Structure 1
Amino acid sequence: MKDEGAYILDWVAHYKTLGATDIVVFTNDVNDPTDHLLRRLNAMGEVHHRFSRVMKRGPHKSALMWAEYEPAVRDADWLLVVDVDEFLEIKVGDGTFQSLINENSSADAISFPWRIFGNAGIRDITREPVPKRFTRAQPVEGKAGEHRFFKTLYRNDPTKFSRMGVHRPYLAKDHAPISWVLPDGTPILENDMPGALFVRDHFGYEAAQLNHYALRSVDSFLNKKARGRANHQNGTIEMGYWQKFNKNHEEDTSLAEGFFAAEAYRERLYAQEPNLKLANERALVWARRSARKARRDPEARKFLQLIGPELAPDEATDAQVA
């Protein structure tokens, strides 16, 4: 993570309510209260916070490399690489990782295709949790042949998987037989296992859905653009990125309606550590100030002109396609 302080607590609370026993977070070159928040959560035993040394491979892949040395990673039964803008919704059993694993008891890996959520015409940054505020998404049913990237929950079994990857684990050399499925049990074909990063046509959303809020609000996007990309050391975020991830075709409030459990968890954290709430407020202030500064950048002004003055979600999508 880098400069994500305004969003961390809701994200941590959400994955704790899903049943994550350990959350390992690496940060690098932070300018906002991200590190302060994570140090407090580390002291409370809620996360394992580490400072990452970024190598040529970029921030994200460097963090995965260092994570291999972490006891919480090494000793885990199951592993999932997931970012602060990704919220998993599990729709089977009691909505926890364990229920999903029980439903796919013979699986070694379960991949969750993204469902991309757009900015829904929202411009500012507030304290409302991301899954409650952004409820416009791409269609559940994809177009014929459409592919969607996934993230993968997998057994920490060295006879089958050698190391973590951003989207899926790498296969071990001469690996044992692997059962790899989508959340609803649909198998990933053996011939696709070595290099698959996405699936086509069927996504298994009936059992679980990985909501990907790559943009959030306009101001959040401007902050992200100023921060830079996690997978590419010198990569930039331009208009094409906005167009790719601003999907507002359908309303989906399912996760929003069930987010009360994560909010309750967050409130318990506040009760345990009063300074945590203050740190969260400071992170929100930083994000808003940073966005105001970003708006003055000439490139940001061009971007704001391109997206229009006050476009409604569907109008924004149509305008960008045109």
Structure 2
Amino acid sequence: MRITSVTTMKDEAPFILEWVAYHRLIGLNDILVFSNDCSDGTDDMLDRLDDLGLIRHYPNPSMFTGNPKHHLQVVRYINTFSRLRRSDWVTSFDADEFICINTGAGKVEDLFNDMPDTDVWSMSQLNFGHGGVSEYTDALMGEQFHYCWDYHSNFFTRQNKRGTKSMTRMAAKPVEIRNHSCVFDPAAQNNLIMRNGSGAHIKDVDLSRDVKSLLHPDYGFDLVQLNHYPLRSIDSFLLKRMRGNANHDNADYGIKYWRKYDFNVVRNDSIARWIPDVRAMRDDLLKDPVLGPLHRSAVENAQNRIAGLKQNEHVQGLMAAINRYVRRNPGILAQAAG
């Protein structure tokens, strides 16, 4: 069974090895990564992982077209790949997202085996706050970030919803792969089975469009959730702000974005069972004579960049605003600290 994933990356070097190790371990065996405008060694690390047969690394076509909408350029490009049509399953997700399987041994095949009639699995984002972590360290995501949104509360002004990415069975014959989901011919929708992360059959979703979110009560997390770490630590958030947005070059990762995601309401350690295996695989990768030095250089570079950013007056203002928000909105962190 070939399970293909598609991801865009820019300046993710310190985080790559964990992300690749984890997703290889849970069963993604055809990881396609498209990079653009990297300045922190990301390209070199991806090239070496490609050499080792762990991923396939391509330049983002945006590097040729000059179009700053990097995600959208990849989406258009991958639809020319005949090999994706020969995959059994295809999904698209980001470098700050981890597919977390909550059934069986925690592998994607366990999800598929649970309900083999499924054509589309909709994986809803479980958004993690910064969890009280201020400094950037070279530790695993699952070791550092434990606090997130709860499964069902409304964190939006108007609609109780969750962002979603989908895994699609290619034998169902989608007409196009999109960023969040595949899309189908409207005439074929009645013959498709789409399930949410709890395995419920979702019938009232238009699969002829890119499904970007599900409204309550249609989303679920019992069988699969998409752990989303949009902030990481406060220090790491500064790196994200410097990197910029993959689709909107004028977007600003400022305090508004921080307030959108930094809800530390409950503790969720569903991904924790993978920490020993991920650490072991990452340690093996660090023994590679090329990857090891590249990763250590990426960590040092991240630390230096953070130190430099903290000297900037505007960044200091953002950090002050973040720290004020954190003090006033501790969530469950106040109980954890006590």
After TM superposition, the score normalised by the length of structure 2 is: 0.86
The residue identity in structure 2 corresponding to 1:200 is: L
Q: How many aligned residue pairs are there?
A: 316
- State the secondary structure of the residue aligned to 1:126: coil
Q: Deviations over 1:173-230 (max 9, x none)?
A: 6436211111322122245433442122243211111110001011111111111111
Q: Which moved more, 1:241-250 or 1:1-10?
A: 241-250
The residue identity in structure 2 corresponding to 1:290 is: R
Cα gap change, 1:310 to 1:169, in 2 (>3 Å)? closer
Alignment correspondent of 1:121? 132
Unaligned runs of 5+ in 2: 1-8, 334-338
Alignment correspondent of 2:6? none
Superposed CA RMSD in Å reads 2.3
Q: Which moved more, 1:66-75 or 1:23-32?
A: 66-75
- State the secondary structure of the residue aligned to 1:10: helix
Q: Which moved more, 1:179-188 or 1:102-111?
A: 179-188
Report deviation, 1:32.
0.3
Q: Tell me the distance in 1 between the aligned counterparts of 2:301 and 2:22.
A: 23
Q: Tell me the distance in 2 between the aligned counterparts of 1:3 and 1:59.
A: 13
Q: Tell me the distance in 2 between the aligned counterparts of 1:115 and 1:312.
A: 23
Alignment correspondent of 2:182? 169
CA contact (8 A) 1:120 1:313 kept: no
Unaligned runs of 5+ in 1: none
Report deviation, 1:64.
2.0
- State the secondary structure of the residue aligned to 1:235: coil
Q: Tell me the distance in 2 between the aligned counterparts of 1:60 and 1:292.
A: 29
Q: Tell me the distance in 1 between the aligned counterparts of 2:276 and 2:330.
A: 31
CA contact (8 A) 1:112 1:210 kept: yes
The residue identity in structure 2 corresponding to 1:244 is: K
Report deviation, 1:294.
2.0
Q: Deviations over 1:216-260 (max 9, x none)?
A: 011111111111111223322221111111121111222124322
CA contact (8 A) 1:132 1:257 kept: no
- State the secondary structure of the residue aligned to 1:259: helix
The percentage of aligned residue pairs carrying the same residue is 27
The residue identity in structure 2 corresponding to 1:246 is: D
- State the secondary structure of the residue aligned to 1:247: coil
Alignment correspondent of 1:277? 292
CA contact (8 A) 2:186 2:207 kept: no
After TM superposition, the score normalised by the length of structure 1 is: 0.90
CA contact (8 A) 2:125 2:164 kept: yes
1:290 equivalent among 305, 330, 333 = 305
CA contact (8 A) 1:121 1:313 kept: no
CA contact (8 A) 1:59 1:233 kept: no
| Higher RCO (CA 8 Å, separation ≥ 6 residues) | 1
- State the secondary structure of the residue aligned to 1:214: coil
- Residue pairs, 1:166-245, within 5 angstroms: 166-172=179-185, 174-175=187-188, 177-195=191-209, 196-202=211-217, 203-245=219-261
Asked if residue 308 in structure 1 is aligned to residue 309 in structure 2, the reply is no
